[in-house]
Amino acid sequence: MGPTAVGKTALSLELAQAFNGQIISGDSMQVYRGLDIGTAKATAAEQAQVKHHLIDILDPAEPFSVAAFIKECQRKIEQIARQAKLPIIVGGTGFYLQALLDDFQLGGQPADPDPKIRQQWRDFAAKHGQQQLWEALARIDPTAAQKIPPANQRRVIRALEVYQLTGEKFSCQADLPQPKYDPLILGLNVDRQLLYQRINQRVDLMLKQGLLPEARWLFDQGGTALPAGKGIGYKELFPYFAGQCSLETAVEEIKKNSRHYAKRQLTWFRNKMSVTWLDPQATDFQEQARQRVNDWLNER
């Protein structure tokens, strides 16, 4: 995961090929057919390298919700796993990803009785490190700590949650529902100014690739009246098609809204999820990512 234009697609292809994986889109707009350029979908050539899922499954007039995403994503994860392949979710729609990984009910409410406790322990781990988080568990429930490696932050936090909520040790709560997934969450981020520069350049490239006719087609289908018509990169062009502003103004709006969205994405990922951050500008970036995945798989 990471903000728009940070390089998620390239890394996802690298990891999928290195670890026999298939890719599931974690983007709320890439589900729509006909919206390829503005949603920054993997190209046909890229999709030919690795099997992709949850792309081009709906028409622009069809609604798509977090509940639908969870249902479809869970189905795809199981399908990929049955093929002995690694499911790799790639995207930037933070609420959708959090809802899937934090076991939200399909109605949109967290299954956990007090998500604030979970966030407190995440903050503790971010400040003091995973080893000290694990040691906190070892002090109150050494039996559970022996069975959970320090690197499995999600599981350690779940054990601490149970103790704080019930007063009983996690090791004595075998009948409690367990998190459905135990993920490795890799986040990509670069210097803010460089990110904004990339976003501006991406918008310019999208225009060269044919964003205008794609957006015009969506406008003619119904524009913002459609579920797909509210996406950044499209809605800003509708006033231009209606003769209400210049193309230059519309393009600047796309860039501005994209930058603001990237900032919101990063805030969400940092505050809501346990992310291992990587810098795509590092010379050994891809090797770092491969090593993280390899270590995570070996631990399990």
Cβ neighbour number for residue 205 with a 10 Å cutoff: 13
d(CA 194, CA 189): 10
d(CA 170, CA 215): 52
Task: Return the amino acid letter for 143.
Answer: T
d(CA 191, CA 281): 9
Beta bridge partners of 278: 188
| Residues 31 and 134 both lie in one domain | no
178 located within any domain: no
d(CA 203, CA 217): 18
pLDDT the model gives residue 139: 92
pLDDT the model gives residue 150: 86
Asked whether 169 and 141 are in contact (CB, 8 A), the reply is: yes
Helix axes of 247-272 and 192-209: crossing angle, nearest 10 degrees: 130
pLDDT the model gives residue 265: 93
| Residues 249 and 267 both lie in one domain | yes
52 located within any domain: yes
224 located within any domain: yes
Query: In the listed set 145, 172, 199, which residue is the last one of a domain according to the structure?
Result: 172
Q: Which residue's structure tokens are 């999928």? A: 16
Tokens of 93: 């729609």
CATH of the domain at 62: 3.40.50.300
| Residues 83 and 230 both lie in one domain | yes
Beta bridge partners of 186: 276
Instruction: Detail the DSSP E strand segments found in 175-298.
Output: 186-188, 276-278
- The pLDDT profile of the chain, 300 residues, written as one tens digit per residue, is 999 999 999 999 999 999 999 999 999 999 999 999 999 999 999 999 999 999 999 999 999 999 899 999 999 999 999 999 999 999 989 999 988 988 775 443 444 456 778 788 888 888 898 899 999 999 988 988 888 888 788 888 888 888 887 777 887 765 545 678 889 999 999 999 999 999 999 999 999 999 999 999 999 999 999 999 999 999 999 999 999 999 999 999 999 999 999 999 999 898 888 899 999 999 999 999 999 999 999 988
293 located within any domain: yes
Q: Is 262 annotated as a binding residue?
A: no
Q: Is 8 annotated as a binding residue?
A: yes
| Residues 71 and 140 both lie in one domain | no
CATH of the domain at 157: 1.10.20.140
Q: Which residues contact 116 (CB under 8 A, 6 or more apart)?
A: none
Asked whether 133 and 154 are in contact (CB, 8 A), the reply is: no
pLDDT the model gives residue 114: 62
Query: Residue 63, CB half-sphere, CA atoms under 13 Å: how many?
Result: 5
What SS3 state is found at 300?
coil
pLDDT the model gives residue 177: 54
Query: Residue 108, CB half-sphere, CA atoms under 13 Å: how many?
Result: 4
Cα of 108 vs its chain's centroid, Å: 17
Q: Is 9 annotated as a binding residue?
A: yes
Supply the range of the domain harboring residue 167: 115-172
Read off the DSSP letter of residue 32. B
Q: Is 76 annotated as a binding residue?
A: no
Tokens of 164: 């704080």
Q: Is 2 annotated as a binding residue?
A: yes
Asked whether 101 and 123 are in contact (CB, 8 A), the reply is: no
d(CA 215, CA 193): 28
Query: In the listed set 172, 202, 219, which residue is the last one of a domain according to the structure?
Result: 172
256 located within any domain: yes
| Residues 79 and 228 both lie in one domain | yes
* Number of domains within the chain: 2
pLDDT the model gives residue 272: 81
| Residues 261 and 229 both lie in one domain | yes
19 located within any domain: yes
pLDDT the model gives residue 291: 97
Q: Is 6 annotated as a binding residue?
A: yes
179 located within any domain: no
Q: Is 5 annotated as a binding residue?
A: yes
User: Taking the model in full, what pTM does it have?
Assistant: 0.79
269 located within any domain: yes
Q: Which residue's structure tokens are 């990237």? A: 262
Q: Is 3 annotated as a binding residue?
A: yes
